[in-house]
Amino acid sequence: MTDLVAVDIGGTHARFVIASVGADGTISLGEPETLHTKDHASFQTAWEDFRERQGGTLPPRAALSVAGPVGGEVIRFTNNPWIIRPSLMQSKLGVDQFTIVNDFAAVAHAVARAPDDQFLHITGPDRPLASEGTISLIGPGTGLGVAHLWRAGSEYRVTATEGGHIDFAPLDSIEDAILARLRKSHNRVSIERVVSGPAIGPIRQTLAAMEGRPVTEEDDVTLWTRGMEDRDSLAAAAVDRFCLSLGSVAGDIALAQGGFGGVVIAGGLGYRLREHLPRSGFAERFRAKGRFSELMADIPVKLIVHPQPGLFGAAAAFAKQHLETVS
């Protein structure tokens, strides 16, 4: 049994946990601790806080999932002021081994290792993700994460991408109108502008304009809540429209990556939509790829429901890099 500290660092929160990797590769997590990034001057002070909460000692191994690019001598976060210098991990934190991966790459590692019961079936044939071939991942949240993994039995490889920044392609007159509205603010409209949490506002504003209805400014969380609870007809219509676009984009990503072994929806927003997606127009849009409709209909689409995919995936990434018998 190998113990390590797994950390999932975002813009607002840093989640810490003691993870264990068994000789057979089984990964288990203890009880996570969630710290607010604004309450700590640096990652080191947050680490020290967690260490005190654990009685003053931690395993000399760490696995970090970070929201942002992970290359170079200095790692900077997308939405918080912390920095990490990998070359100082040992002297600053007292770790002998460590792994640092992009947050969505960590999710891909989680998908590779999570058992079948951690996935909710959305559409396509109701069978497990393929054990051989490519699996595509897409995760709507504050932005849009895109990655893929290739696996052959117990072996797998993860590739993080910037697929959320490919061009948005409207498929009907409503999406034409959404694109036109977004073009007023952005010279180039990527799929992330339409398939992410903040997109709910522009989508709702577009629908309101089409009906000549005034709309008040609302924050994203309020709009999502009112839309999914059907307490605001325009917000509910925007949620439905979002699901259509998500289906189109997920299908495009699968075609581009060759993700015929399955597609996984991840991310906090994806999880919130777990009851809405199966009864929305997601499935029809996912399959609607012209000559490839039959191929698309044979791809299982799942939603990962693991409660801590970032922490689980960070531990999996560590195991893959450092524990050669666990690959």
- What is the C-alpha to C-alpha distance for residues 237 and 207, in angstroms, rounded to an integer? 8
Structure tokens at 206: 């577009």
Nearest to 284 by CA among 253, 247, 246: 247
Task: Report CA-CA distances (Å) from 214 to 207, 208, 249, 281.
Answer: 10, 7, 29, 27
Q: Which residues are annotated as a binding site for ATP?
A: 7-12
Structure tokens at 64: 């970090």
DSSP 171-228: -SHHHHHHHHHHHTT-SS-BGGGTSSGGGHHHHHHHHHHHHT-------HHHHHHHHH
For 40-55, b/e burial (b = at least 16 CB within 10 A) is beebeebbbbbbeeee
Q: Which residues are annotated as a binding site?
A: 7-12
Nearest to 215 by CA among 242, 233, 239: 233
Nearest to 5 by CA among 100, 114, 113, 108: 100
Distance between alpha carbon 31 and the CA centroid of its chain, in Å? 21
